[in-house]
Chains A and B, each alone.
Chain A
Amino acid sequence: KAGVTQTPRYLIKTRGQQVTLSCSPISGHRSVSWYQQTPGQGLQFLFEYFSETQRNKGNFPGRFSGRQFSNSRSEMNVSTLELGDSALYLCASSFSGTGGAGDYGYTFGSGTRLTVV
């Protein structure tokens, strides 16, 4: 079956602009998580959605937001972009994300490389 699809793959934005990234999870998966990867901070958890509800949130400012649609597709939005937001943004999907033994291996997409200039 198809994997996790993230669009676009690359994005260049100017400081102060806003950006929306998209993630389509594996068919049947209902949990979508977002991570930010930078050389300085490594991989950091942004938030997780399940059945259109945010269940968990990392330590990021309110400029970072997300949502999930009824088909489990998710978007994340970053407003008022800063240079430090340049990063690889990774989306991961899981059937339920509840920690069950058969489920808890998240599958990651290839990411969206965001460059803020």
Chain B
Amino acid sequence: AQSVTQPDIHITVSEGASLELRCNYSYGATPYLFWYVQSPGQGLQLLLKYFSGDTLVQGIKGFEAEFKRSQSSFNLRKPSVHWSDAAEYFCAVGGGGGNKLTFGTGTQLKVEL
């Protein structure tokens, strides 16, 4: 069965500081990996996705993620955080035509001014 672990429930960073959100997955084949962001009361917005190829994926809003098969990880990074990045971030795994995304429990990001 597929699963996703986001070990950090809450993270606080100062505006302008770098950010890394951790994600580990379990999947029997080549995974499709995603990062979504959710603002309070809103739906999920796709930040980036990985299917194959280059293991460093660029997304929207200056985010990037690196797929490391050996570590079963897909960590999200941003070099300089803005106050508007405060939100909840979800890592998800899917694939193989199952048409089902399995989400992690999310990481709540707080940005201190």
Contact = CB atoms under 8 A, between A and B. Distances in A.
Chain A: interface size category: 20 to 34
A58 B101 CA distance: 11
A101 interface: yes
Given A42-B106, A55-B99, A99-B94, A105 B46 contact: yes
B90 A43 contact: yes
Given A105-B46, A106-B46, A42 B103 contact: yes
B99 A31 contact: yes
Contact of B101 (A45, A98, A101, A107): A45
- Assign chain B's interface to a size class: 20 to 34
Main secondary structure of the interface of B (DSSP, over half): loop
Interface of B: 32, 34, 36, 41-46, 49, 51-52, 90, 92, 94-106
B92 to A, nearest CB: 8
B86 to A, nearest CB: 18
A76 to B, nearest CB: 15
Contacts of A101: 51-52
Nearest to B36: A108
A107 B97 contact: no
Contacts of B41: 113
Given A90-B44, A110-B42, A111-B42, A104 B94 contact: yes
Contact of A56 (B32, B36, B44, B99): B99
